[in-house]
């Protein structure tokens, strides 16, 4: 006998922020843009930011990639986020006040997300952050050509209107003291990784060596450091790519990445690497810096051993460079937490329960860059949401219930006959030669028509979208349409179990099961 089912779309499953992507794409396709935006902000308060800076693992998982290219989910999210800002849409009002106070340490993506969800639940939230302005690495690490500051400011301003208090230029040194003095019943620690890892490189002029985090922060704060005509960036991550691209915008004629492994081994995302190359950044693979001299630097040529690890060859080269930027990874400044008895650490990060995100100290939770995890904006936002729900439960003396996920709607389960050709919509981009003149945003947004067209490419994997295929295919009239938005039901007195409905369903929203 056939039954209707709801499977888990692969995009939803891959989203670190836990967005119901398929649902807000459906609403956008239907022209219900505000409803779509409100669906996003149930889980992620910053769609205009995420539509620009998220590395969209949802698109990697998208089943449509097997047909004619993944749905451009991030561009539709940006379309909705920008539309919300232009229309002045505000968050829905929060729940009634609970009287509970929560302190959030850090105004980066994880802290801001936690504050949003806690405020929505009715709690009084205060964020304390050491920087002059909120945003964390979104403001001080991501360059303006990727995330314009007016977009960042506008989405944070909406959060403040919700009732979240943000205190800047405040460095928390005594967390327990601050908690007790302020009457906070729970704490969420969301400090970012703002410290660059250092490496000892013999040099004759230390002023020629800067760390990438400080360099990017200086530029983001309005500084324009003198770096010379030739710049070498040591590292292979996203921060290294950003530093090299920023150097080009500051006038460097040559911006070189020096990385000790191969292109295939670099941690930078492919799109970051490709953008850097288009802007004239050159790559020196299998090279490690051994010394920095007055006018150049010395690099050792590396090779991969049988296990794929880089090792020195004893052969050296010279590279000209006026400035060397170190981008070898970042760490959190977690020293203030080490004064708290019972707190456990793994190097610079705090150990937490992987489900609740609570530390070994009751009532103190942590997330984002402060805990072992992938360090991205979207992961941080997802941690903030999860921590908020667990903090809410902890304050109420309850356990958080974890629902099991539905099976994933894999590509092989879809019936492709239904879906025609619909090529992916490309966002407009500045030409490479134009980009390096200033810090203007590189990638443009979609028009209304493009946003709706792209949303319509969603295959609705695993969930009925009322195409009437089952209704039309049933030879016995056993499928009953319940009206728009209510889908269908089966009349099992008429159903013969022929499976015609199941075989034609485009999205695998019907399963055949043994009759009881």
Residues 24-55 have pLDDT tens digits of 999 999 999 999 999 999 999 999 999 999 99
CA-CA distance, 100 to 116, in Å (whole number)?
15
Asked if residue 323 and residue 206 are part of one domain, the reply reads: yes
pLDDT in tens, 264-323: 999 999 999 999 999 999 999 999 999 998 888 999 999 999 998 999 999 999 999 999
| Cα–Cα distance list, 169 to 80, 113, 128, 142, 172 (Å) | 32, 20, 8, 20, 10
pLDDT in tens, 109-148: 999 999 999 999 999 999 999 999 999 999 999 999 999 9
Q: What is the pTM of this model?
A: 0.93
Residue 232, sorted as left (phi over 0), alpha (psi -120 to 50) or beta, turns out to be beta
Pick the last residue of a domain from 343, 365, 395: 395
Three-state DSSP class for residue 429: strand
Poorest-pLDDT segment among 395-404, 442-451, 479-488: 395-404
Which residue in the block uniquely carries the two structure tokens 């800002």?
A: 85
- Tell me the two tokens of residue 193: 């990784």
Which pLDDT does position 206 carry in this prediction?
Answer: 76
Give me the count of residues in the chain: 516
Which pLDDT does position 334 carry in this prediction?
Answer: 87
CB contact set of 85 (below 8 Å; sequence gap of 6+)? 48, 151, 154, 155
Asked if residue 210 and residue 321 are part of one domain, the reply reads: yes
DSSP conformation letters of 329-368: -EE---GGGTTSTT--EETTEE---TTT-B-SSTTEEE-G
User: 363 is in which domain, residue-wise?
Assistant: 101-194+332-395
Q: Do 58 and 22 form a contact (C-beta atoms < 8 A)?
A: no
- Tell me the two tokens of residue 253: 């004629």
Asked if residue 340 and residue 296 are part of one domain, the reply reads: no
Query: Does some domain include residue 47?
Result: no
Asked if residue 187 and residue 204 are part of one domain, the reply reads: no
pLDDT at 381 over 80: yes
Which residue in the block uniquely carries the two structure tokens 């879906």?
A: 419
Nearest CA to 325 out of 245, 244, 248 is that of: 244
Which pLDDT does position 420 carry in this prediction?
Answer: 80
Query: Does some domain include residue 309?
Result: yes
CB contact set of 86 (below 8 Å; sequence gap of 6+)? none
Rg (CA), the chain: 26
Domains of the chain: total = 2
Integer distance in angstroms from the first to the last C-alpha of the chain?
Answer: 9
Query: Does some domain include residue 49?
Result: no
Pick the last residue of a domain from 361, 378, 395: 395
Query: Does some domain include residue 127?
Result: yes
Q: Which CATH number is 207's domain given?
A: 3.50.50.60
Q: What is the mean pLDDT of the chain?
A: 94
Asked if residue 322 and residue 244 are part of one domain, the reply reads: yes
CB contact set of 397 (below 8 Å; sequence gap of 6+)? none
Q: Do 511 and 5 form a contact (C-beta atoms < 8 A)?
A: yes
Asked if residue 175 and residue 146 are part of one domain, the reply reads: yes
Pick the last residue of a domain from 371, 395, 419: 395
Asked if residue 336 and residue 323 are part of one domain, the reply reads: no
Asked if residue 343 and residue 291 are part of one domain, the reply reads: no
């Amino acid at each position: 006998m056939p039954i209707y089912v709801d499977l888990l779309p692969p995009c939803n499953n891959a989203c670190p922020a836990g967005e119901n992507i398929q649902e807000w794409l459906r609403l956008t396709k239907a022209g219900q843009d505000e409803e779509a935006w409100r669906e996003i902000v149930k889980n992620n308060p910053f769609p205009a930011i995420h539509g620009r800076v998220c590395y969209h693992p949802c698109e990697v998982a998208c089943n449509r990639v097997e047909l004619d290219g993944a749905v451009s989910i991030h561009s539709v999210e940006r379309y909705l986020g920008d539309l919300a800002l232009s229309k002045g849409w505000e968050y829905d009002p929060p729940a009634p006040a609970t009287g509970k106070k929560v302190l959030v340490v850090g105004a980066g993506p994880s802290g801001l997300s936690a504050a949003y969800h806690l405020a929505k639940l009715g709690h009084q939230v205060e964020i304390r952050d050491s920087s002059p302005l909120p945003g964390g690495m979104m403001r001080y690490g991501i360059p303006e050509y990727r995330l314009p500051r007016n977009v960042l400011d506008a989405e944070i301003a909406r959060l403040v209107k919700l009732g979240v208090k943000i205190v800047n230029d405040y460095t928390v040194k005594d967390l327990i003291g601050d908690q007790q003095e302020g009457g906070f019943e729970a704490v969420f620690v969301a400090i970012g990784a703002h410290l660059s890892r250092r490496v000892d490189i013999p040099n004759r002029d230390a002023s020629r060596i800067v760390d990438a985090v400080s360099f990017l922060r200086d530029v983001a704060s309005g500084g324009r450091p003198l770096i010379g005509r030739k710049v070498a960036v040591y590292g292979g991550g996203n921060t290294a790519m950003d530093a090299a691209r920023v150097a080009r915008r500051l006038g460097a004629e040559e911006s070189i990445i020096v990385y000790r492994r191969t292109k295939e081994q670099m941690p930078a995302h492919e799109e970051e690497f490709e953008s850097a190359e288009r802007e004239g950044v050159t790559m020196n693979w299998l090279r490690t810096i051994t010394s920095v001299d007055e006018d150049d630097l010395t690099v050792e040529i590396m090779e991969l051993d049988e296990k794929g690890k880089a090792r020195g060859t004893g052969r050296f080269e010279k590279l000209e460079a006026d400035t060397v930027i170190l981008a070898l990874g970042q760490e959190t400044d977690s020293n203030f937490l080490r004064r708290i008895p019972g707190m456990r650490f793994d190097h610079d990060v705090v150990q937490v329960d992987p489900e609740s995100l609570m530390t070994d100290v009751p009532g103190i939770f942590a997330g984002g860059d402060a805990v072992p995890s992938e360090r991205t904006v979207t992961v941080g936002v997802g941690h903030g949401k999860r921590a908020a729900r667990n903090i809410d439960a902890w304050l109420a003396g309850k356990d958080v219930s974890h629902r099991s996920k539905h099976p994933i709607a894999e590509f092989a389960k879809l019936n492709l006959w239904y879906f025609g050709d619909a090529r992916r919509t490309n966002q407009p981009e500045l030409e490479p030669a134009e980009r390096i003149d200033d810090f203007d945003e590189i990638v443009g947004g979609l028009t209304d028509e493009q946003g709706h067209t792209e949303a319509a490419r969603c295959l609705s994997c695993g969930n009925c979208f009322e195409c009437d295929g089952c209704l039309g295919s049933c030879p016995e009239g056993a499928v009953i349409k319940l009206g728009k938005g209510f889908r269908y039901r089966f009349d099992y007195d008429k159903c013969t179990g022929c499976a015609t409905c199941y075989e034609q369903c485009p999205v695998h929203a019907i399963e055949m099961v043994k009759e009881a």
